[in-house]
């Protein structure tokens, strides 16, 4: 699919096109990865399929935080298969979600940035809907939501649904499974849950606060990352809260969220405490 698309629009003609219509939108997908050797080729394949079927100009920026499982090797193979103008590898040694976005954005050439998880819980088929929604309302941010319309989840038991929908995020992250991986990484892969308490306390104007499947105008994301101070679970939430504070407009698209860590719903006291701390900090400061 992709090779067909690439051969139809060789590099030279695309450049000419860009010169002729400098306003043409380009979408940069930031994929922070850590030990995603299995999932990375699949998510990239789905992304390429989704973009080329709807004729959208795109690039995929893979930011690997030094995974020991060979994610980088797979990423290099993908770069060869799909071309280095579509797949950009920007690995680094540092860890952390906010800095991963900053790092990725430095290399992004698109005027829109899409942020998503690389673990297949976010399906790229929703991206064309995000883009349509953005154009429809000229939004600064479009956020995927599991809590509206046809949105939903797969693989959550009753307890997780209650906690996620009720008070606390669901987070069967590495740190909860007793692994020694840096807890901050758990934030983008496993922290889930819009919740009643947060809605009541922060009234953020978006229904899914900790979901991390979103589309931003590039300059908006830059501004937000500069403003945000939280780490871990609270980061995605703070982005939306600050966005509301800065009067950015937010559109929402229902998404289905297919959780791949079924049955691992454990909640650690540490995660609950750090979430509540973050929530109260936002409550008192925004």
Nearer to other proteins, 22 or 68 (CB): 68
For position 286 contacting other proteins by CB under 8 A, the verdict is yes
Contact 12, 91 (CB under 8 A): no
Do 171 and 186 touch, CB atoms closer than 8 A?
A: yes
**Total interface residues for other proteins by CB under 8 A:** 39
Ordered alpha helix ranges (H), the chain: 2-8, 11-20, 39-53, 71-82, 97-107, 127-137, 158-165, 183-190, 196-202, 218-227, 234-245, 269-285
Residue 1, SS3 per DSSP: coil
In what helix (H) or strand (E) does residue 29 lie, and over which residues does it extend? strand 27-33
Task: Decide the pairing of beta strands 214-217 and 141-145.
Answer: antiparallel
- Decide if 34 contacts 65 (C-beta within 8 A): yes
154 binds other proteins (CB under 8 A): yes
Q: Which of residues 74-133 bind other proteins (CB under 8 A)?
A: 74, 77-78, 81, 120, 123
Is position 257 an interface residue for other proteins (rule: CB under 8 A)?
Answer: yes
Q: What string marks each residue from 163 to 202 as x (binds other proteins by CB under 8 A) or -? A: --xx-----------------------------x---xxx
Contact 168/275 with Cβ under 8 angstroms?
A: yes
Q: Per-residue string for binding with other proteins, 208-227, x by CB under 8 A?
A: --------------------
Binder among 4, 7, 158, 180 for other proteins (CB under 8 A): 158
Segment interacting with other proteins (CB under 8 A) among 55-63, 71-79, 87-95, 104-112: 71-79
Residue 134, number of CB atoms within 10 A of its CB: 22
Whichever of 40 and 108 has its CB closer to other proteins, that residue is: 40
Nearer to other proteins, 108 or 282 (CB): 282
Q: Within 13 Å and on the Cβ side, how many CA atoms surround 53?
A: 12
Nearer to other proteins, 74 or 108 (CB): 74
**Residue 6 interacts with other proteins (CB under 8 A)?**
no
Contact footprint for other proteins (CB under 8 A): 37-38, 41-42, 45-46, 74, 77-78, 81, 120, 123, 147, 150-156, 158, 161-162, 165-166, 196, 200-203, 245, 256-258, 282-286
């Amino acid at each position: 699919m992709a090779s067909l698309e690439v051969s139809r629009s060789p590099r030279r003609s695309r450049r000419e096109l860009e010169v002729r219509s400098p306003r043409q939108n380009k979408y940069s997908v930031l994929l922070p990865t850590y030990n995603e050797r299995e999932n990375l080729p699949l998510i990239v394949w789905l992304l390429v399929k989704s973009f080329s079927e709807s004729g959208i100009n795109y690039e995929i920026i893979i930011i690997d935080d030094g995974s020991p499982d060979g994610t980088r090797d797979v990423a290099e193979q993908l770069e060869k298969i799909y071309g280095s103008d579509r797949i950009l590898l920007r690995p680094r040694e540092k860890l952390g979600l906010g800095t991963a976005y900053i790092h990725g954005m430095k290399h992004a050439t698109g005027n829109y940035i899409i942020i998503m998880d690389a673990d297949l819980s976010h399906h790229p088929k929703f991206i064309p809907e995000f883009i349509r929604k953005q154009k429809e309302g000229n939004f600064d941010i479009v956020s995927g939501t599991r809590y509206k319309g046809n949105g939903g989840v797969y693989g959550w038991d009753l307890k997780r649904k209650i906690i996620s929908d009720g008070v606390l995020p669901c987070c069967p992250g590495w740190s909860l499974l007793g692994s020694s991986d840096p807890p901050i990484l758990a934030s983008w892969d496993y922290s889930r849950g819009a919740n009643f308490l947060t809605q009541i306390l922060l009234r953020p104007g978006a229904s899914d606060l900790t979901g991390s499947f979103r589309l931003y105008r590039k300059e908006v994301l830059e501004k937000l990352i500069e403003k945000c101070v939280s780490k871990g679970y609270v980061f995605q939430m703070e982005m939306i809260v600050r966005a509301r504070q800065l009067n950015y407009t937010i559109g929402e698209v229902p998404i289905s969220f297919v959780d791949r860590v079924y049955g691992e719903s454990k909640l650690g006291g540490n995660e609950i405490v750090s979430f509540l701390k973050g929530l109260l900090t936002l409550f008192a400061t925004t």
